[in-house]
Amino acid sequence: MVSLLDIIGPVMVGPSSSHTAGACRLGLLGRGLVSGTPEKAVLELHGSFARTGEGHGTDKALAAGLLGFKPDDERIRTALEIAEREGLDYRFEKAALGEEAHPNTVRMTLDHGDVHATLTGSSLGAGRILVTEIDGFPVEVTGSFHTIVMVAEDIPGSIARITGILAEHRINIATLRLTRKQRGGDAFIVIECDEPPGEGVRDEVRALSWVRWARRLDKVSGQ
Amino acid sequence: MYKSLAEAIRDAEGSGRTLSQTALDMESADQGRTVEDIRSVLARALGIMRGAVEQGMVGDLYSASGLVGGDAAKLRTGPPGPLAGTPFRDVLARALAVQEVNAAMGVIVAAPTAGGAGVLPAVLTGLAASKGFSDDKLVDALAAAGLIGAVIAERASLSGAEGGCQAETGAGAAMAAGSATEMLGGTPSQAGHAIALTLQGMLGLVCDPLGGLVELPCVFRNATGSAIALAGIEMALAGVTFAIPVDEVIDVMGEIGREMDVRYRETAGGGLAATPTGRRLARERLYQIKRGG
C-alpha cells in the first residue's frame, strides 16, 4: 500500500531517489541484518545501478547506509572516506543478476563479527525499496515496517509460539510470511510489525531452542 | 490510498470535500495516524522545499561534473524576456533552483523523485507567493499532490529506469497541476482535468541523462515540466476539459514506459546522452569526477 507521505518524500541528499536514497535504505537494511557496521562488504551492482551508479553516488549511499547514515544525512557525500576510517572494507563489483532482476538491484555479502549474511534488494523508484532475498531465501521486505527475520526448525506450533510472544509485548503484526526450501528443512520467517520489537522480544525469541537465529531490521522508510 | 483518481474525485465531490481533505482522511485511515500528524510531516517537507528554492536561487552551486548550476540565478537577475515579472518566470527559476541543489548533493524532498523534485515546489510555492497564500494552503496542496503521485505509482510508475522521464518529471508536473488547481479554487473535477491536460503533454518523454547523471537535461526538464503544468492549470481553471479520463491517461503513461526501449530509461544509452556532444561531455566530466573534481 502506497502512503502519500512516501510520495512527498523522502527528505534526502540528492541527486537520485532511486540511486541515492533507495540505495542508502538498502544499506541500512544490510546493516540491520548483520546488527552493526560490517567489517567487510561486497556489493554487486546490477543494471542501472552498475551503469550509472557512480555519477549518482550509489556507491556512497550504499556505504552510508551500512554505516548507519539516513538518506537525509549530508555525510553521504563523504561516506566512502568515512567507511575507510571506520574499518568498513568495501568492494563494488558489476554483476548480471538475471533478466528477472529489477534494473536497480544490489546483492550484498556482509560480514560483521561472526555474522555472515547475503541480501539482494532493489530500489523501485521514489526511494521505495524491496528486499527479495536474504541468505538464499526468497523474501519481500519493504523497510516500511519494523521487521523480524529468523530461521527456525520447521516444526508444528512455531508460528503460534512466536506470535504469542509478540502479542504479550503488544506488538501488532502487519504481515507474516513463512518460506522453506523443503519439508522438514529450515523455515525462514519474516514478520513486519507496526511497533518496534524491543530487546525483551529478541531475548525470548532467541531463547527458543528451535530458533537458529533471529534479527531485527529497523524501519528505514516512512516519515 | 486510492488506486483511481476518478474514485477519489467522486468521493470528494460526493461528500463536499476537497481532494486534499479526501487524501488526508484516507491516509489517516490507512496509516492509523491523525490528520494533524500527517500535516506536520508535510509542513516539514514544505520547509525543506522552501530551503532548497532559496539555496538554489543564490547561484553559487555547481554539480559534481560542473555541467549544471547557476541558471536559476540568471532567471532571477538576468535580462528580461516576454514573461519577466510574471509568476511564470518565477516558477521556472524555482524549478531550476531546486534541481541545482539536488545535483550538488544538497538536501531536497523527493516528490515524487529526486530527479523530478523541482516541479512541485516550484509551481506550488511560486503560485502561492504570487497570491499571498498561507502555509496551511500549501500543506493541503502537498496532501493532494501525494494522492495524485500515489495513484500514478500504483497504476504506472514513478521511476525513470522503469518508465522514462514522463514517470518522473511527468508525474511531478501532474501532481503540481492537480494540487495547484485545487489550491487556486478549482473543483476536484477541474483538478482531474488539469492532471490529464498536463500529463498528455509529457507522454513519451524519455529519460536520457548525460553519463546517467541527474544533471542534464534533468535540471531543465523540471523547468519545462513546470511550464506544462502551468499550461494544464490555466486551461483547467478556464473550464477546458480533456476527453480521455485521467486514470486512462495515467495507464497509458505506464504502458508507454513499459514499451520504451531500455536506452531511453535512465541508462544513458540513447537520446541526448547518446548525441556526439552528450557522449563527449559525459566522457570528459565523468573522468573529472573520478579524479575528484
Q: What is the CATH number of the domain that holds A184?
A: 3.30.70.260
CATH assignment of the domain containing B136: 1.10.4100
Range of the domain at B66: 5-290
Same-domain pairing of A200 and A123: no
Domain enclosing residue A167, as ranges: 146-217
Question: What integer pLDDT is reported at residue B161 of this predicted model?
Answer: 84
In tens, the pLDDT along B100-122 reads 999 998 999 999 999 999 999 99
Looking at the fold, whether A154 and A59 belong to one and the same domain comes out as no
Domain assignment present for A141: no
List CB contacts (< 8 A) between A20 and chain B.
Answer: 114
What average pLDDT does the segment B28-55 reach? 97
Identify the band that residue A150 occupies on the pLDDT scale cut at 50, 70 and 90.
very high
- pLDDT (average), residues B169-176: 98
Whether A13 and B105 lie within 8 Å, measured CB to CB = yes
Domain assignment of residue A172, yes or no = yes
Residue of chain B minimizing CA distance to A49: B267
From the list A7, A12, A16, which residue is nearest B112 (CB)? A7
Determine which of B40, B266, B281 to mutate to test the interface with A (most A C-beta atoms within 10 Å): B266
Q: Which of A45-54, B83-92, B179-188 has the lowest mean pLDDT?
A: A45-54
Position B292 pLDDT exceeds 60: no
For residues B152-166, average pLDDT: 93
CA distance B82 to chain A (A): 32
Are A25 and A120 in a shared domain?
yes
Q: Chain B residue closest to A11 (CA)?
A: B109
CATH code, domain carrying A61: 3.30.1330.90
Q: Is the pLDDT of residue B289 over 70?
A: no
Secondary structure (3-state) at A70: coil
Final residue in a domain of this structure, among A135, A159, A184: A135
Confidence of residue B266 (pLDDT cuts 50, 70, 90): confident
Q: Are residues A190 and A125 in the same domain?
A: no
What is the total count of domains within chain A?
2
Q: Is the pLDDT of residue A103 over 90?
A: no
User: Has residue A74 got a pLDDT over 70?
Assistant: yes
Q: A16 and A120 share a domain?
A: yes
CA distance B189 to B186: 8
Query: Does the pLDDT at position A65 exceed 90?
Result: yes
C-alpha cell at B261: 526501449
Q: Are residues A26 and A124 in the same domain?
A: yes
Tell me the residue type at A171: I
Q: Identify any residues that bridge with A141 across adjacent strands, giving them in sequence order.
A: A131
Does the beta-carbon distance from B267 to A51 stay under 8 Å? yes
Q: What is the pLDDT of residues A26-56, one digit of tens each?
A: 999 999 999 999 999 999 999 878 877 777 7
In chain B, how many domains are there?
A: 1
Does the beta-carbon distance from A14 to B64 stay under 8 Å? no
Phi, psi of A92 (to 5 degrees): -100, 135
Closest CB to B158: pick one of A10, A47, A125: A125
Same domain, A33 and A114: yes
| Domain assignment of residue A181, yes or no | yes
Whole-number average pLDDT of chain A? 92
pLDDT at B293: 40
Does residue A26 sit in the same domain as residue A110?
yes
Q: Is A18 found in the same domain as A118?
A: yes
Residues A106, A208 within the same domain:
no
Q: What was the pLDDT predicted at A100?
A: 86
Pick the closest to residue A204 from A216, A193, A192 (CA basis).
Answer: A216
- DSSP class per residue in B158-220: S-HHHH-GGGTHHHHHHHHHHHHHHHTT--HHHHHHHHHHHHHTTTT--B--GGG-SSTTHHH
